[in-house]
Amino acid sequence: MNVIDALQQRKSVRAFLDKNVETDIIHNILDAAKHAPSGVNTQPWQVAVVSGASKQRLQSQIEHAFHEGDKGQAEYAYYPLEWLEPYKSRRKACGLKLYSSLEILREDKQGQMNQWAANYRAFDAPVMLFFFMDKQMQTGSYMDYGMFMQSIMLAAIHYGIATCPQAAFANYPHIIKPFLGYPTDNILVCGMALGYEDTDAVVNNYRTEREDVAQFTRYFDT
């Protein structure tokens, strides 16, 4: 598969097969992704790979906190404090596509909550990745991290592995960092579900819209 095909094929998968991913494959994915660029070669990424019994214990703690009303607090602002257009409409359309695919109605608040809680099981993927970096790193390192994570997701496709990047995990550093033994002076950037896609699951068969290139590009050549 070439890079263009991989870019167009990549999607956020929210239903996975009950099938383990070999450690060697995960290692190879990360070994390829480590070639992502970073400012002055800082390579700010620190990755935790969580599976098996460790995954079950950690996700149980996070889900319990969520259902008890602990919404957590991320260590940085991912989304804007005020949603303006066109981002407000894109956000709404994204949510509608997800819930429509699952036939969860707007008034079904319990159904929406149950689906959101699935985030904290990594949608039942066999592997959760968590991404950390030192707190002294600045905005540029978040840009570096985005390129690193995209590299992971594209490399995963080469091995037939599906992924879903998950900002939702960033809300629970007070649970995830102590559980994994990461120091308090690290930032939990986000998580990622990783496994084999359940291609029969309806939630995996919708795609969000992308703007035409002409809508976000200007050319200056004279």
Residues 184, 186, 190, 193: is their CA dihedral positive or negative? negative
Span 83-93, pLDDT tens digits: 999 999 999 99
Span 58-91, pLDDT tens digits: 999 999 999 999 999 999 999 999 999 999 999 9
Cβ 99 vs Cβ 41: under 8 Å: no
* pLDDT of res. 100: 84
205 confidence band (pLDDT: 50, 70, 90):
very high
Residues in the chain: 222
CA-to-CA distance for 54 and 97, rounded, in angstroms? 32
Average pLDDT, the chain: 95
Could you tell me the two tokens for 69? 């009303």
* pLDDT of res. 102: 83
The distance from CA 42 to its chain's CA centroid, rounded to whole angstroms, is: 22
Mean pLDDT of 6-32: 97
What residues does each domain of the chain span? 3-78+120-208
> Which residue shows structure tokens 């695919």?
101
* pLDDT of res. 187: 97
Span 85-131, pLDDT tens digits: 999 999 999 998 988 888 888 887 888 888 888 999 999 999 999 99
CATH number of 3-78+120-208: 3.40.109.10
Could you tell me the two tokens for 189? 């950037």
Closest CA to 128 of 62, 75, 217, 67: 62
Residues 6 or more apart whose CB falls under 8 angstroms from that of 217 comprise none
- Bridge partners of residue 49, in order along the sequence: 129
CA-to-CA distance for 130 and 58, rounded, in angstroms? 12
Cβ 42 vs Cβ 144: under 8 Å: yes
Mean pLDDT of 139-159: 98
Which DSSP state fits 86? Answer: T
Cβ 98 vs Cβ 20: under 8 Å: no
- Bridge partners of residue 56, in order along the sequence: none
Q: Is the pTM of this model over 0.75?
A: yes
Could you tell me the two tokens for 185? 């002076």
Peptide bond into 80 cis (omega under 30): no
> Which residue shows structure tokens 């949603």?
83
